[in-house]
Chains A and B, each alone.
Chain A
Amino acid sequence: MINFRIDGRSAAPPYLQIVQQVRQALRMGVLDVGDQLPTVREVVAATAVNPNTVLKAYRDLEREGLVHARAGHGTFVLSRPPGPPPGTHSRLGRSLARWVREARAAGLDDESIESLLRLTLQAAPEEEIA
């Protein structure tokens, strides 16, 4: 089971935050096929968001084919979003963390690191990376 965090100051509306957090949990392997999502009442009780917001998020996820609502039972994970298996993210995350440590040691602040990453993404078109 996962917990949702709703940030009132985020630019993303609450329903999108729920959708993104489910997708992220699937990518990271926190949620797997067959797992149950929290019920609407559980989410509402924990976050005080509007129940219709949760319904909208779950319907979006269902339309994407990621989850499936079984009447009277709850909402369950049907498949993972397309992309590499969960281990890939944590492996790349670890090597990125090493690189960030190196960058900080070299005197780069967070803003410079972010702009360097953006520039690198722009400079290398997708085919070249793949």
Chain B
Amino acid sequence: MTAPAVPERHPTAAVIQTRGLVKQFRRVTALSDCDVTVPEGRICALIGPNGAGKTTLLRLLSGLARPTAGEMRVLDGPPRQDPVFLSEVGYLAQEIPLYRRFTAEEHISIGAHLNRRWDPTSVRDRLTSLHIPLDRAAGSLSGGQRAQLALSLTLAKKPRLVLLDEPVAALDPLARRHFLATMADAVAADGITVVLSSHLLADLERVVDYLILLSASQVQLCGDIDTLLAEHRVLVGPRKDPAAIAKTHTIVQAVHTARQTTLLVRGNAPVIDPAWESSEAGLEEMVLAYMGQDASPEISHLTTVGDEQ
């Protein structure tokens, strides 16, 4: 097999675009005024604490639920229950959808009947390379093996977009690594786009290049991770009122001790006051600052980037 050379990346169209998306369950607002954009070929982490609206957003994008208000475009139009859309979107729910009594081989046969496109060889090759038996009931496989089987079946229908709800939360570190490698390989091989939700970022840090951060039903951040990091800085200085900084930067989080003030700010304006020591923000630091209690609600409308992409 010849190896693919390094293709040049072109600015690509958005695979997902939502505007003013709202989902209400009776009187509970699960998602409020949600604007997100995800370009093609990205691996996007959907991060947020439990109950932030991650599953709701994934179900809306997959067409399994309908929004209360707002607009969505996924691939070429609004999500819908038609064969073309459903063949192009792979959705893997948190409760892994497998038949416990059926073997992997039987799942592969079922898939062939249910899908327009179907690549059984890819499933067999992947499972064999990971030493996962094809002839044992899914119920007797380990959690990591079941997750691999479910992901391989999802990829076998050759979707353009894959939505994964908390896929690695229950896996041990090695199974997690294998699962993410399988997912990233599908991106490298077929240029698919992936959105995967998690309440933890640490496991995903090396594999994702795009981020949507949800907190309390609101989008706090959305964009290319390197771009987001370049827009944020940590300032450390003797304890003082950060009012002067607030004129030129958005203060995402301010932590004060008796002697010291630590700020996580958004904005690239130079910090003139030499009392502040400025350093780059880490991904986890930035995410925690937005999830923390100190993030003021009025800044959330400033924090969606990526519309230009």
> Which A positions have Cβ atoms within 8 angstroms of B?
6, 8, 14, 36, 39-42, 44-55, 58-59, 62, 69-75
User: Taking chain B's interface residues, is the majority helix, strand, or loop, or is none over half, making it mixed?
Assistant: loop
Q: Which residues of A contact B42 (CB under 8 A)?
A: 52
The reply to whether B2 and A44 form a contact with Cβ atoms under 8 Å apart is no
**CB of B206 within 8 A of chain A?**
yes
**CB of B258 within 8 A of chain A?**
no
> Within the assembled complex, what's the spacing in Å between the Cα atoms of A48 and B202?
13
Q: Which residues of B contact A36 (CB under 8 A)?
A: 3
B side interface size, CB within 8 A: 24
The reply to whether A40 and B188 form a contact with Cβ atoms under 8 Å apart is yes
The reply to whether B184 and A51 form a contact with Cβ atoms under 8 Å apart is yes
Minimum-distance CB pairs A-B, first 8: A74-B3, A51-B188, A39-B3, A69-B6, A48-B181, A69-B5, A48-B180, A44-B184
Task: State how many angstroms separate the Cβ of A77 from the closest Cβ of chain B.
Answer: 14
**Which residues of B13-44 have CB atoms within 8 Å of chain A's CB atoms?**
41-43
Task: State how many angstroms separate the Cβ of B261 from the closest Cβ of chain A.
Answer: 24
The reply to whether B207 and A72 form a contact with Cβ atoms under 8 Å apart is no
**CB of B10 within 8 A of chain A?**
no
Chain A residue with Cβ nearest B229: A13
The reply to whether A62 and B6 form a contact with Cβ atoms under 8 Å apart is yes
**CB of B272 within 8 A of chain A?**
no
**Which residues of B64-108 have CB atoms within 8 Å of chain A's CB atoms?**
none
The reply to whether B209 and A72 form a contact with Cβ atoms under 8 Å apart is no
The reply to whether A46 and B187 form a contact with Cβ atoms under 8 Å apart is no
> Within the assembled complex, what's the spacing in Å between the Cα atoms of A67 and B241?
52
A51 in complex: contacting residue of B2, B3, B187, B205, CB < 8 Å: B187
Given contacts A48-B207, A49-B207, A50-B206, contact A72 B184 (CB under 8 A): no
Given contacts A59-B6, A72-B4, A74-B4, contact A50 B181 (CB under 8 A): no
The reply to whether A44 and B206 form a contact with Cβ atoms under 8 Å apart is no
> Within the assembled complex, what's the spacing in Å between the Cα atoms of A28 and B177?
30
**CB of B208 within 8 A of chain A?**
yes
The reply to whether A47 and B189 form a contact with Cβ atoms under 8 Å apart is no
Given contacts A40-B188, A44-B188, A46-B181, contact A53 B5 (CB under 8 A): no
A47 in complex: contacting residue of B3, B5, B181, CB < 8 Å: B181
> Within the assembled complex, what's the spacing in Å between the Cα atoms of A70 and B7?
10
Given contacts A50-B43, A50-B184, A52-B41, contact A40 B4 (CB under 8 A): yes
Instruction: Show 10 residue pairs from A and B whose CB-CB distance is below 8 angstroms, ordered by the A residue.
Output: A6-B206, A40-B6, A41-B188, A44-B184, A44-B188, A47-B181, A50-B184, A62-B6, A69-B5, A72-B2
> Within the assembled complex, what's the spacing in Å between the Cα atoms of A71 and B4?
7
Chain B residue with Cβ nearest A49: B206
**CB of B277 within 8 A of chain A?**
no
> Within the assembled complex, what's the spacing in Å between the Cα atoms of A74 and B2?
7
Q: Which residues of B contact A70 (CB under 8 A)?
A: 5
The reply to whether A73 and B5 form a contact with Cβ atoms under 8 Å apart is yes
Task: State how many angstroms separate the Cβ of A19 from the closest Cβ of chain B.
Answer: 13
The reply to whether B181 and A44 form a contact with Cβ atoms under 8 Å apart is yes
Given contacts A36-B3, A55-B9, A73-B5, contact A41 B189 (CB under 8 A): yes
Taking A42-B3, A55-B9, A75-B3 as known contacts, 20 extra A-B pairs with beta carbons closer than 8 A to each other, sorted by chain A number, are A40-B4, A41-B4, A41-B188, A41-B189, A44-B181, A48-B206, A49-B206, A50-B206, A50-B207, A51-B188, A52-B9, A52-B41, A55-B6, A58-B6, A62-B6, A73-B5, A74-B3, A74-B4, A74-B5, A75-B5
